[in-house]
Amino acid sequence: MDMEPVRDRRSRSGNGKAPLPASRRPDRAEAEEAVRTLIRWAGDDPAREGLRGTPERVVRAFSEFFSGYDSDPVELLQRTFSEIDGYDEMVVLKDIRFESHCEHHIAPIIGKAHVAYLPDKRVVGISKLARLVELYARRLQIQEKMTAQIANTLCEVLQPKGAAVVIEAAHQCMTTRGVHKPGVTMVTSSMLGAFRTDSNTRREFLAMIGTPGTHGLDNV
C-alpha cells in the first residue's frame, strides 16, 4: 500500500517547527519599528494620533496569526487511544474553519478543511484534528503545501490505513488585489494509502463531505 508521506524538510524540522534563518529573531521593539517603516512607506505618519498604537497592535496580531511556528504538529498527535474494539471504519471531521495567510502577499486565506483517516490500531481525539489544521494554518502558507502537511503528519504519527484531506478556501491575494476575482474558491486534496488506492474508500469520503467548491464559503 502506497502511503509514504511526502517529506517537506523546509516546512518542518525535527521538532516540528519551521527552521529559522541563521540570524537571530527580531525582538518586539524591532518588529514594531518595522511596522512604522511600512506606515511611512505607505505615505502616512506613524506618530499621528490614530496610528500611534498601530505598530503594537500589528505585532500582537502577528503573534496570533503565526502562532503555529511555536507548536510541534507531531507532539500534538502523540496522545492516542488503542481501545477501539476493532473499529476500522473511517473517521471524518468536516467543515473545519480556518484562517491563514499566503506566504506571497501575507493576505488572508479563509476556508474550511475536511480531514479523514482509516484507523489501524490507534485513534486520536477529534479536537486534535481541528488543532492540527489550525497549527498549520497559523503559518505563512500556500494551500497546496498546507493540504499535504496535514495528511503527511496524520500518516506519520497515527500510521493509519489511509488519510485524506480536502481544503477549499478563498484567497484575498486574488480577490482584493491583482486580478480582483471575488467568489472564487480553490480546492486542493491529498489522498494517501487506502484513499489513493481504493476508489470506493475515496468515493465514500467525498460523499460524506459533499462536492467541494459547490456550497460556497459565504458562511465560513
104: cell is 506571497
Query: Domains of the chain, with CATH numbers?
Result: 28-67 (no CATH), 71-209 (3.30.1130.10)
Return the pLDDT at 6.
Answer: 43
143 counts as catalytic: yes
Which of the following is catalytic: 102, 114, 141, 168?
A: 102
Confirm if 46 and 52 have CB atoms less than 8 A apart. yes
Q: Which of 103, 156, 159, 204 is catalytic?
A: 103
Decide the pairing of beta strands 162-171 and 108-118: antiparallel
pTM here is 0.84
State yes or no: is 171 an active-site residue: yes
Tens place of pLDDT per residue across the chain (220 aa): 445 444 443 344 344 555 555 578 899 999 999 999 999 999 999 999 999 999 999 999 999 999 999 999 999 999 888 877 778 899 999 999 999 999 999 999 999 999 999 999 889 999 999 999 999 999 999 999 999 999 999 999 999 999 999 999 999 888 887 888 888 899 999 999 999 999 999 999 999 999 766 555 655 5
From the list 56, 75, 104, 144, the catalytic residue is 104
- Given the residues 32, 143, 155, 168, select the one marked as catalytic: 143
Active site residue 103: yes
